[in-house]
Amino acid sequence: MSNHPTHIDHILLFCTSPDYAREFYEKTLNFKIDHVEGDVTYLHLGETKLMLFPIGGDKSWLADESTLGRGVRIYFSVPDVDALAKHVQSTGARIYNHDDNSIIKEPITRAWGIREFGIVDPDGYRLYFAMRVEK
């Protein structure tokens, strides 16, 4: 038996407004709530698990609260990236090309065989959605 990690168990995202973040992940991305403990929400989408954790009280353990999401990109594999993009846009969210932060109308097909788009959650986390396509 190996002592090496086998997979990511869950992703914890710090949130300035847990209710707003919960609504975003439910309505925009179709995550399902597992349970809520106080201000902490546990969600899942397939095997992907998120924990939305509020920032409040003593914040001395955070290096710089204003940098939530900075330098983090979370990638999701999806079977139909175009259908998801249309759903996301129907909720009022914008889709982006995060290479240059430009707003795009549809996912981008990359030279390396990926079709993708990005969105930004309420706390600035950059989320990418991609599917493999023929080169």
Q: How far apart are CA 75 and CA 94, in angstroms?
A: 17
Q: Which residues pair with 13 in a beta bridge?
A: 52
> Under a CB-based contact definition with an 8 Å cutoff, are residues 85 and 95 in contact?
yes
Q: Domains in the chain, ordered, with CATH? A: 8-56 (3.10.180.10), 69-135 (3.10.180.10)
Please tell me the predicted confidence (pLDDT) of residue 115. Answer: 96
pTM, rounded to two decimals:
0.79
Task: Tell me the DSSP string of 7-60.
Answer: S---EEEEES-HHHHHHIIIIIT--EEEEEETTEEEEEETTEEEEEEE--S--T
Q: How far apart are CA 86 and CA 20, in angstroms?
A: 21
Which residues are CB-neighbours of 73 under 8 A, at least 6 positions away?
98, 118, 126, 127, 128
Please tell me the predicted confidence (pLDDT) of residue 5. Answer: 67
Average pLDDT over every residue of 32-58? 88
Please tell me the predicted confidence (pLDDT) of residue 55. Answer: 81
pLDDT digits (tens, 9 = 90+) for 51-99: 998 887 555 555 555 567 777 789 999 999 999 999 999 999 999 998 8
